[in-house]
Amino acid sequence: MKDVKGLELTIFVFFFVAVTVVGFAAARWRRGQTLMHLDEWGLGGRSFGTFVTWFLLGGDLYTAYTFVAVPAAVFAGGAMGFWAVPYAAIAYPIVFLVGPRLWSVSHRHGYVTTADFVRGRFGSRGLGLAVALTGILAMMPYIALQLVGIQAVLTVMGVTGSGLARDLPLFIAFALLAAYTFTSGLRAPALISFVKDTLIYLTIIVAVLYIPSKIGGWGHIFDASQASLAKPNPVTGKPSGSLITSNMTHWAYGTLALGSSLALFIYPHTVTGALAAGRRDVIRRNAALLPAYSLVLGFLALLGYMARATPEVAQGVAKAKNPQLAVPLLFDHAFPQWFTGLAFAAIGVGALVPAAIMSIAASNLFTRNVYTAFLRPDATPAEETRVSQFVSLLVKVGALVFVLGFDKSLAINLQLLGGIWVVQTFPALAIGVFTRWFHRWALLAGWAVGMVYGTWTAYDTSSPTQKHFGQSIADIPFVGHTGYIALTAFVFNIAVAVVLTVVFRLVKVPDGADETDPSDYTADATDRPAEPGDPGDAGRELTPASG
């Protein structure tokens, strides 16, 4: 461990210790009668207001990986990396339409997970299981990528070394995270997200005002980046990218934005954060307020250009052959040490909040839709919570093994696949809150087709450095353009679901029972308070076993 930057590291460690204390203390915050109920441990008591939910969902959706990877993509490819901004804008009209209905029906029936809703709506444990497994599969690599974010800042701070010395800090950070998630549940990331988001906003506002003034203004940043992007890349011989999208990339840009916006609200960690809201209006207001983070994301993306326009930083990234270091190196170069420490703490703490919520979301899915649904139908709420707590530990150990044991590119590949997979649950989940027109088996078949097509197509893509899973875009059949695989797979998914629904109705394959009522989708907290011990149990017995 040579060249460790003392002051940076001290401030970084200080914030890590501070959030750990907050994490454990959170168990007492807004405490319910018991923590041994999934409504309490897994959803923070279902009582968060607009303010807390804004911080929680903001801390949840805008992950450390985003903060490192989005500017890295802009750094490496120019305009194409900016698709995250339209994505983070158009996702919110969808949140506004789908979110309140999902919240209401979940509140009335005590649903804790997305798969709970799908099972109850379509009377099919099998469809619920498909949604649950998709969610768990998508969460694992996503958690692993949060570690990649922490690793990037640790590397720049000089914590490199080899073997155990390099991995130990990461190991400690995750052990602490696992411990306070175990004891405090969703309250821990909710409270820590205040620290995280304050640090992030502070860092970005300072970066956006300070760095351009230091390196010659915005006009210069864009011009220098344009010139630099136009130079041929030594590997491919083609320009690295351009300042605006071209005829070749318009479709990719638009489909990446649209496809990802479909995924945003149906990711298990988003739904977990949303269901923790105490009132229906909280979701509606947050759909309008959360784009504030998207604006921050937009400026963050532009840090990629600042890195490119600063020769020392661009050289450093080229030397390390790792564009993920663009923002950490930029901060390290541009800021005084103490502020760099603060900015790195923002990224590091930024990894902990989503990692905690994701592990809670994945363990809730396992507990409710695998364990209780198939193995122990009469599990008590306390037993469910106990299982969730232990699964959340397992999930984190899994993520750690992933990052330490395998090549990082595996986690990135699987994250890419995770996005493609999650979109395939959109028909059952997001369309399901509006209509039950689709037949349950048609939805399952459409899901399977989308999953297989998406996985196979993604496997088939290559990049200059990778033979498989090289990128998230591929040729769209019959269209003649390149587009996001998730969206193409989604179109096939819907087509199959529509055709088979018509066929199944014609041959009169029985529909599952719907345990929800139209009024459930517009209900508010005051209409009927959620009762402990009533998490969907009423409907579970009535639903015909049809997995």
Interface with another protein includes 109 (CB under 8 A)? Answer: no
Interface with another protein includes 49 (CB under 8 A)? Answer: no
> Which C-beta is closer to another protein: that of 237 or that of 518?
518
Do 270 and 61 form a contact (C-beta atoms < 8 A)?
Answer: yes
Interface stretch with another protein, choices 108-116, 200-208, 449-457, 515-523 (CB under 8 A):
515-523
Residue from the set 38, 88, 266, 274 that interacts with another protein by CB under 8 A: 88
Interface stretch with another protein, choices 373-381, 421-429, 466-474, 514-522 (CB under 8 A):
514-522
Task: With H, G, I as helix, E, B as strand and everything else as coil, classify residue 242.
Answer: strand
Do 156 and 466 form a contact (C-beta atoms < 8 A)?
Answer: no
- The least CB distance from residue 91 to another protein, in Å, is 9
> Which C-beta is closer to another protein: that of 5 or that of 280?
280
> Helices 408-423 and 440-460: crossing angle, nearest 10°?
150
What phi and psi values does residue 482 have, to the nearest 5 degrees? -100, 135
**Residue 246 structure tokens:** 């071209």
**DSSP H helices in 43-124:** 50-61, 64-77, 84-109, 114-122
- Site residues (CB under 8 A) for another protein, limited to 221-240: 221-222
CA distance 23 to 29: 10
Interface with another protein includes 281 (CB under 8 A)? Answer: yes
Interface stretch with another protein, choices 83-91, 191-199, 311-319, 413-421 (CB under 8 A):
83-91
Interface with another protein includes 258 (CB under 8 A)? Answer: yes
- Of 358, 366, 354, nearest to 390 by C-alpha is 366
Interface with another protein includes 526 (CB under 8 A)? Answer: yes
Do 61 and 261 form a contact (C-beta atoms < 8 A)?
Answer: no
- Site residues (CB under 8 A) for another protein, limited to 297-326: 298-299, 302
- The least CB distance from residue 472 to another protein, in Å, is 17
Cα atoms found within 13 Å of the Cα of residue 515, Cβ hemisphere only: 23
**DSSP H helices in 325-380:** 326-334, 337-366
Residue from the set 18, 25, 36, 90 that interacts with another protein by CB under 8 A: 90
> Which C-beta is closer to another protein: that of 174 or that of 265?
265
- Site residues (CB under 8 A) for another protein, limited to 357-416: none
Interface stretch with another protein, choices 15-23, 220-228, 422-430, 458-466 (CB under 8 A):
220-228
Do 255 and 87 form a contact (C-beta atoms < 8 A)?
Answer: no
- The least CB distance from residue 453 to another protein, in Å, is 22
Residue from the set 405, 464, 518, 529 that interacts with another protein by CB under 8 A: 518
Residue from the set 218, 322, 492, 514 that interacts with another protein by CB under 8 A: 218
**DSSP H helices in 464-512:** 485-506
What long-range pairs does 238-247 form, CB within 8 A, spacing at least 24? 240/76, 240/77, 240/78, 241/76, 241/77, 241/78, 241/79, 241/80, 241/81, 242/78, 242/79, 243/78, 243/79, 244/79, 245/79, 245/80
**Residue 288 structure tokens:** 């309008």
> Which C-beta is closer to another protein: that of 96 or that of 194?
96
Residues within the interface to another protein (CB under 8 A):
79, 82, 85-86, 88-90, 92-93, 96-97, 100-101, 104, 217-222, 243-247, 250-251, 253-254, 257-258, 280-281, 283-285, 287-289, 291-292, 294-295, 298-299, 302, 517-519, 522-524, 526-527
